[in-house]
């Protein structure tokens, strides 16, 4: 059973996820689109301006493009927005790239079935869980390789690390978070691991 303290912590993490969704949408849908519209209006005005004024407008447009590019990058950095707009498969590709950059010594293999789409809520949860699992591989498992698969309504993460005791009476916060996210999104979560024999975590989209 989760303790009240753990329950509260997981609830706070869920609230943080919800805030990320709001911020990502605000950045992309509101700020980014408004700045793009300003750039278009400036382009229309250029025909009635002097050469010097045109040069000033071009400078402003360049600044707008720089800001828009930074806003898009910040929006994409919020994984919930990336998952919702580009799909879980693409988001997992970005996650794999991030893991390779963070841990160059780790071999990260990714196999995603093209065109497979998950509903937003379970897709968000699956991404968050995979992110947590890969982070655990980097920090704790000692594995030199991790494999992520997405096929037929199943996402699977495999590593060759030291494994852990899945029946431990006081599981770590990472495992509690994964279980919480899976339960909230109605994902099946199965963990197969033994000490020194690596770990396989399988997420199943119910009804698949």
In this prediction the pTM is 0.67
Of the listed ranges 32-41, 59-68, 199-208, the least confidently predicted one is 32-41
Element spanning 187, H or E = strand 187-193
Residue 47 makes CB contacts below 8 A (sequence gap 6+) with none
Torsion of CA 90, 16, 167, 185, to 10 degrees: -60
Count other C-beta atoms under 10 Å from residue 14's C-beta.
14
Mean pLDDT of the chain, nearest integer: 81
* φ, ψ (nearest 5 deg) of residue 80: -60, -40
Please state the length of the chain: 208
pLDDT per residue as tens digits for the range 50-63: 888 888 888 888 88
Residue 27's alpha-carbon distances to 1, 55, 97, 158, in angstroms, are 39, 28, 23, 35
Given a cut of 80, is residue 142 above it in pLDDT?
yes
**Alpha helices per DSSP H over 33-190:** 33-45, 51-77, 79-86, 88-102, 120-136, 173-184
CA dihedral sign, ordered 187, 83, 193, 165 = negative
Distance CA 7, CA 177 (A): 10
Q: What pLDDT digit, counting tens, does each position of 158-202 carry? A: 998 887 776 764 566 778 888 888 988 899 999 998 777 789 999
Mean pLDDT lowest for which of 33-47, 49-63, 132-146, 150-164?
33-47
Strands 187-193, 154-159: pairing is: unpaired
Q: How many other CB atoms sit within 10 Å of the CB of residue 62?
A: 11
User: How many other CB atoms are there within 10 angstroms of residue 184's CB atom?
Assistant: 15
C-alpha to C-alpha distance for 33 and 107, rounded to whole angstroms: 39
pLDDT of residue 10: 64
CA 196-173-83 angle, to 5 degrees, is: 95
């Amino acid at each position: 059973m989760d303790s009240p303290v753990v329950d509260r912590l997981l609830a706070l993490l869920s609230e943080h996820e919800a805030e990320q969704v709001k911020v990502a949408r605000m950045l992309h849908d509101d700020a980014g689109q408004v700045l793009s519209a300003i750039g278009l209006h400036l382009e229309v005005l250029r025909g009635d301006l002097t050469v010097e004024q045109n040069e000033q407008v071009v400078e402003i447009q360049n600044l707008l493009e720089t800001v828009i590019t930074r806003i898009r990058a910040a929006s994409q950095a919020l994984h919930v927005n990336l998952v919702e707009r580009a799909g879980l498969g693409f988001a997992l590709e970005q996650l794999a790239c991030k893991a390779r950059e963070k841990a160059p010594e780790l071999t990260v293999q990714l196999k995603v079935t093209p065109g497979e789409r998950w509903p937003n809520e379970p897709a968000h949860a699956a991404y968050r869980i995979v992110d947590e699992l890969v982070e655990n591989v980097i920090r704790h498992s000692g594995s030199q390789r991790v494999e992520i698969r997405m096929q037929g309504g199943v996402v699977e993460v495999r590593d060759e690390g030291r494994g852990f005791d899945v029946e431990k009476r006081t599981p770590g916060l990472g495992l509690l978070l994964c279980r919480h996210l899976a339960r909230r999104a109605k994902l099946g979560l199965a963990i197969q691991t033994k000490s020194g024999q690596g770990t396989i975590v399988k997420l199943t989209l119910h009804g698949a």
